[in-house]
Amino acid sequence: MKIIFRAYKFKLQPTRKQKVLLDKHFGCVRFVYNHFLNERKEQYQSDKKSDNYYIQASILTQLKKNNETVWLKEVNSQSLQFALRCLDTAYINFFRGNANFPKFKSKKNKNTFTVPQFAKLGVDRFYIPKFKEGIKVNAHRKVKGDIRKCTLSKTPTGKYFVSILSEEQYKPKEKTGNICGIDLGLKDFAVTSDGIKFRNNKYTKQYERKLKKAQQYLSRKIIGSNSFERQRRKVSLIHEKITNSRMDNLHKVSHQLISNYDIIALEDLDIKKMVRNHKFAKHISDTGWGTFVKLLEYKAYWNDKKIIKINRFYPSSKTCHECGWINQDLNLSMREWTCGNGHIIDRDLNAAKNILKEGLKILSSGTGDYTDRDGVRSINAQLSMKSGV
Ligand SMILES: [Zn+2]
């Protein structure tokens, strides 16, 4: 058994009254974050140093007593303190060179607040401080383990969600003795070295026409009008649908791979760079390779399996896996080719086989960048707030 953190995301169905109070929470948390970020900025400009978390927390207590900001009392004080903590962390990360300077949060893109303690999930109700009667929730999965913290959010389409992070005693999956290399591609999403293909569902493309039409309608509306808002929701709904379908599929594929294999080798893709430069940028970001690799990594960590990353400059497509002959003329449109020694090569399968070979080489030399135990702890933490399977 091991301790893992798992994230669950459920849709909330607050009453009209609860919506008002939830919106107050979003607003107050955003106010606290922005107010104290501004304080820190101004202090830093004049004194070259600024208040830390503890000083700011005591000022916050004072703010709640002031007439102009007494409304801060209406919301869960722990959520406000948590916003201060986040600001503090953002500052520390910035000064360590790990992150950009903290940004002000806007109503448009940031409607979240965190409940660090005292959240409970009933059969169809979700309980947090200030919401004694509970908020109606569609908890379609049982939450295992103990709830650690919850983050509530509101989407641009006006839906409310809660992400629950739980700490769980987890029994890793059985070992299968299987290993594989995976080639991530555009034609097929993934091909394993033993020939299993996962389709590329091209979610954005599936919805492209619908989305374009909806966006065209939106562009004709007067900004701020009711019909503009309605249409904006429609556009967001399509985006949500695309994201959800893609995420579901990534979970399914990664789950299957981690169940079937003990060791998985894949290319270390510098996806950001590729998306910026490549003419296939749209398709690449649509396939969600980056998210997929992260899912694989944390599921590998949960189940004591290994992910080995191959240097992305390794010519996995160009090299014949049978004899090592290199095809210098290979281009993207060539799905099948014959090597100098007569081996007939299926492009993606060949690449997957080479990736496996290279992965095993790295594993046996012990020099590889591979994921197990401690190495992936930060990834696990990072991902823990996204939905898990
Ligand atoms: Zn060959």
* pLDDT tens digits for range 159-196: 899 999 999 999 999 999 999 999 988 788 899 999 99
Residue that the structure tokens 């955003």 belong to: 30
Cα separation, 75 vs 162, in Å, equals: 17
Question: What are the residues whose beta carbons fall under 8 Å from the beta carbon of 258, sequence distance 6 or more?
Answer: 173, 264, 296, 299, 300, 303, 305
CA of 217 to the centre of ligand 1 (A): 55
In this predicted model, what pLDDT tens digit does every residue of 242-281 receive, in sequence order? 888 888 899 999 999 999 999 999 988 766 566 666 556 6
Inform me whether the pLDDT recorded for 155 exceeds 80.
Answer: yes
Given a contact cutoff of 8 angstroms between Cβ atoms, the answer to whether 194 and 356 are in contact is no
231-247 residues labelled b (16+ CB within 10 A) or e (exposed): bbbbbbebbeebeeebb
Q: What is the pLDDT of residue 389?
A: 35
CA of 193 to the centre of ligand 1 (A): 16
Q: Which of 88, 262, 267, 358 is catalytic?
A: 267
Confidence (pTM): 0.72
Q: Indicate the range of 164-173, 268-277, 317-326, 329-338 predicted with least confidence.
A: 268-277
pLDDT bucket at 344, cuts 50 / 70 / 90: very high
49 is written with which tokens? 């140093």
Q: Which of 262, 286, 348, 358 is catalytic?
A: 348
Cα separation, 157 vs 40, in Å, equals: 33
Inform me whether the pLDDT recorded for 369 exceeds 70.
Answer: no
pLDDT bucket at 136, cuts 50 / 70 / 90: very high
Give me the chain's average pLDDT, please: 87
Inform me whether the pLDDT recorded for 236 exceeds 70.
Answer: yes
CA of 169 to the centre of ligand 1 (A): 48
